[in-house]
Structure 1
Amino acid sequence: MNDLELIDALRTTRRVDDATIATVTDRHALSALREGITMTDRHTTPAVETPRRGRRLGRRGMAAGALGLVLAGGGTAWAVAQLDRGPTLDGLNCAESMTLRPDGDVELERSADGRAASGDDVADCATIRQSAGMPPLADPTAFVYHGTHFVVAGAGIPSGVMESATASAPDPERAAMLELEAALGDWVEGPSRLCLTTEQAQRYAEDTLRRVGLSDWTTRVSTPPTTPESGPCAGLTARPELTQVEVLAETRKPVRLPSDAVARQVYTTAEALEEQVARQCLPLAEAARIATQLVGDQGQVSPVPDEEASCTRVDMEVGGSLFVTLHGPAVATP
């Protein structure tokens, strides 16, 4: 999305109440939008950066290159695909080299951007670069610099960066939180597409917390103020700072096609993933092949090995692009 397209999209939006926003995005979206408006590189594409000479990144983190409409149509709801989501949904910069500028900014060379899925930045960057048609990184080194996650080829990291960077190792707890966020935002068989009652939503959250292993997390039900958009469907949002999933009771109406708030492609892709992946019992590689065909160039597919699973499970989030996460075994056991 270029500047003119973004401005035109913003002009077509109308006001959306807080409860409705909570059902279609997560709690990070507004801060991401604020940073995205002021930091977006004018040539960056929604999910993966087109390889080019360089890109400036400030001290506050990476340029929010995925700024764009979440839900296409009449512009009734919009947010951003934030690439850096703190302790839950972290974005990744996967570059061959990095240059530190005198003002503290950095520039990346031959970089691809994407979203973390597994808690292992090196593995996720390998997938992101492969999807972008870029070669793998030699001696990839993962680190966090001024709050932003990077994986850079070892020979391309300036010493000035590593002096203030923190190493990023595979983190099971972060992986669990990433899977939790994916499940709470799921459009395939999850609460973003379905109209769950408050009781069903709380049970969904509790089951998900058990599955991902966040045993110290709890759930809490809250009731937002009634608005014209209120309805029988509950919303869910992760609150990492409270180790809690918040259940928003009766916060929205069911979303059905035709809709001026949700692109038809969101529904058709979610339905296809449900039929061809979720309802089957597939090994991870086969599920990834099918999901990649269905998503095409409209998003990112991230396969995450899970040898304790019998079949591959699938989550699809929407945020500027389609983000599909797969967790499954090498060999399915129906």
Structure 2
Amino acid sequence: MSTVIGAILLCGLITKVPTQTDSFKQESASSSSSQKSQSNGRSPTGESKPEQGRLIEGTTFLVGSYKTNENLLHVVDQVIRDQKNRIAVLRELKVEEAPMMALSRYRLVIPKPLPVEIDTSKWQIDYKYLDSEYLQILFAAGYSLGLLNHEETTIQMLSIGLGGATANLFLRYATENVNLTTVEIDETIVEVAKKYFGYVEDERQHCVVGDGVQFLSDSAREGNKFDIILLDASKNTEEVVICPVEAFLETSVIQSMVKTLRKHGILLLNYIALGATDVSLATVKKAFEEVFEGCISFDVPAKLNKVLVCVKRHAQYKQMQSEKFHSDMQKHLNAFANVQ
């Protein structure tokens, strides 16, 4: 079953930004930083001088660049207009080889009064926005299944892949009962998330630098349990963009996920496949349906992503097929869209 949820609402909170492939995770990086600016449409390394004391739509600021084993990443701040025709500034993690692709995206808080010398690298992130359509759908499912909004119980969540920590920051500020463990294969990505995207480790959130497949295997063997697993680990090169990476499609790995989840646990999965790959959504869905009780996929309007929600219990699978579940999801999506 594949479903389109909230097509109008999920076309994006930001209307003047070109259609982009949403958040994908990188697996390594090294950093340098010095803010530069350039006009919209130019290479991230191009420069132009913005007017003092003014934010002009289309202006972009290069905040930092990071070399990974696969490609070159740029942290870029971009001036746009939102749905209400107001000037806004987005911070994006972009790939040199695919400049229209945003791996992570946040809105920044514009200081008042606006300083004469503009340096967006020092501006704070506005954490009340979840400017990622595929995460909106996945989290709406989590809310509708009664996990993310279960106030009486502490929810233990595992995220495979950190990227710009979009999911981490949203859950930190939008929930009080979710403890999040993240597994990221590259330590430099953790450093980037902390330096430019506000990621903080504490008693509620921490990051394990290591291989996600091995972490799942160890957790299953040691009896560690989670209520939710978010699988968002991808490979991004000039030849192929794929999420999740194929190692997570092995039956033994999926079995480790099921063993690691509590009996009411759910899997939230981001899917994308571009370029030299034949891994279709049907292939991914079939692999997980052979181990989980049931899975439902959702389209992400105006994006190349699709998402998959898998459950362990038959009652949960029946719930996801009900009109009430989809009505509840739409209410949560409306709430995301109304955060303005």
Which TM-score applies when normalising by structure 1?
Answer: 0.26
Structure with the larger RCO, 1 or 2 (CA within 8 Å, 6+ apart): 2
Q: Whose strand proportion is higher, 1 or 2? A: 2
Which TM-score applies when normalising by structure 2?
Answer: 0.26
